[in-house]
């Protein structure tokens, strides 16, 4: 899934509504452990936006994008439910979550910062 908001419509709550809708959907569904998204490394406003929702940078992928510069992307993750291992250890960290496409939800976010 790719979410985007044209520049003239940013800072009007539209992006927040879209992300909140996705978060509500995956919470209601109950079958997802994590949600992931990617953002261009220079898109600081998007990184700050997603951080407000509890996303954390967990990885940087070099040469991720093919037609935009910079081509590198940060992968951000929000843990919805801790893993069994994390629960057994009494700790729930994003680093313990493997990227599991069947139990994760992906958002794609890019564009000019």
Structural domain contains residue 2: no
Q: How much is the pLDDT for 17?
A: 94
Structural domain contains residue 20: yes
Q: Is the pLDDT of residue 113 over 70?
A: no
| Residue whose C-alpha is closest to residue 64's, from 34, 38, 83 | 38
Structural domain contains residue 1: no
> By percentage, how much of the chain surpasses pLDDT 70?
73
Structural domain contains residue 31: yes
Burial classification of residue 28, based on how many CB atoms lie within 10 Å of its CB (0-12 exposed, 13-18 middle, 19 or more buried): exposed
Beta strand spans in 1-113 (E):
34-40, 56-61, 73-79, 104-108
The total domain count for the chain is 1
CATH number at residue 74: 3.40.630.30
Structural domain contains residue 16: yes
The whole domain housing 53 covers 7-108
| Residue whose C-alpha is closest to residue 74's, from 83, 61, 91 | 61
Q: Is the pLDDT of residue 18 over 80?
A: yes
């Amino acid at each position: 899934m790719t979410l985007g908001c044209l520049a003239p419509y940013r800072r009007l709550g539209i992006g927040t509504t879209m992300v909140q809708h996705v978060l509500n959907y995956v919470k209601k569904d109950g079958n997802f452990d994590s949600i992931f998204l990617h953002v261009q490394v220079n898109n600081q406003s998007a990184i700050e936006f997603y951080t407000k929702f509890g996303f954390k940078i967990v990885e940087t992928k070099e040469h991720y994008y093919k037609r935009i510069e910079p081509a590198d992307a940060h992968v951000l993750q929000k843990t919805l439910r801790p893993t069994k291992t994390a629960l057994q250890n009494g700790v729930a960290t994003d680093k313990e979550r493997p990227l599991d496409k069947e139990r994760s939800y992906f958002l794609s976010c890019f564009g000019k910062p």
